[in-house]
Copies of this chain bind each other. A is one copy, B any other.
């Protein structure tokens, strides 16, 4: 695997040190209870406490430094009380490195027709068993506290991708009001009632909202920073259907306004080129299910664009899937065998291509970091994107 530039003295707990910048792009080091994270970094998504189809050892071999869990899904199954009784998410999943949990805001707001929103929170029907549940800012904190990840995310009011100004304003303002409640509840939990003693130290990160409206985005940032200090900040409500150019404009507007020593997490992004575009605009952390979802569907990401592993062109080929890749799939198996696994519908194929795609994004973060440290990111990323898109991928 590509070497990660050596870290000298680690920052203090939950501190983020900027190791180098190039334009808006940043290389940093984030200290968390379960280890340090060298950024930029892609975080694989373990929705249910498992990166779909991959073992903790598989994920570790991809070089991933931090993995996501999801409070909504883990609240439903197996329940945060079960996870907590088993020693928290790290003991439950056996993943020993840093973890972050999403608050469930994005999931419950996606339950169109199955949820009712008011100022208190969101009542919703479980997609699993139809039972009625409620998430509030306070509950979202309690659930995530019980799960015990290194980082908990604020419970936010998410609006549809291209929501009109009025709706985006409502969501943005409520997200700020809920942030106050999240912060208060997280502080109560952190002060430590006997029955909620933290499994580890846990940071709370806020989420910026405001849709695609520049004025709302600015007000979201101002309101969030005014409620600080924070050890990290997330940019939510993007990559939900708006044109790429809009996302880029918002990121570019945020970059100079965001405090330098605070890691920036662009939620739900993305695909390979999204990572490089985001890094070029100052983003430090990314997460997305596309790596594993594409892997399960037989789409592999290569430096020359994506490829359908089921494709007839791979039949009988003894070449690796990606000759430049150092993952288990590419260093072990001929791509003709990977194709065969998809043809005969063996789940090993799904696992191996998922694993490749995760490694692909993790390595992209590693490479970007090396180039930022060397001051060569801009040229490298342009060349990389040109090659990736040459076939129209």
Contact = CB atoms under 8 A, between A and B. Distances in A.
Interface of A: 48-50, 52-57, 73, 77-78, 82, 85-87, 91-94, 315-316, 318, 328, 332-334, 336-337, 339-341, 343-344, 346-348, 350-352
A340 B49 contact: yes
A109 to B, nearest CB: 21
A351 B352 CA distance: 13
Contacts of A346: 48, 50, 52-53
B86 A344 contact: no
B347 A315 contact: no
Contacts of A334: 86, 91-92, 94
A348 B350 CA distance: 11
A308 to B, nearest CB: 16
A111 to B, nearest CB: 18
A340 B78 contact: yes
A78 B332 contact: no
A380 to B, nearest CB: 33
A279 to B, nearest CB: 30
A337 B48 contact: no
A59 to B, nearest CB: 10
A54 B332 contact: no
A351 B78 CA distance: 20
Given A333-B94, A336-B86, A50 B316 contact: no
A184 B55 CA distance: 48
Nearest to A73: B344
B316 A82 contact: yes
Nearest to A316: B82
Contacts of A350: 347
Given A336-B92, A337-B93, A337-B94, A348 B315 contact: no
B340 A77 contact: yes
Contacts of A78: 315-316, 336, 339-340, 343
B77 A336 contact: no
Given A316-B85, A334-B86, A55 B347 contact: no
Contacts of A73: 344
A351 B340 contact: no
A339 B351 CA distance: 19
Q: Which of A52, A54, A92 has the most CB of B within 10 A?
A: A92
A140 to B, nearest CB: 20
A351 B341 CA distance: 15
Contact of A337 (B53, B92, B318, B340): B92
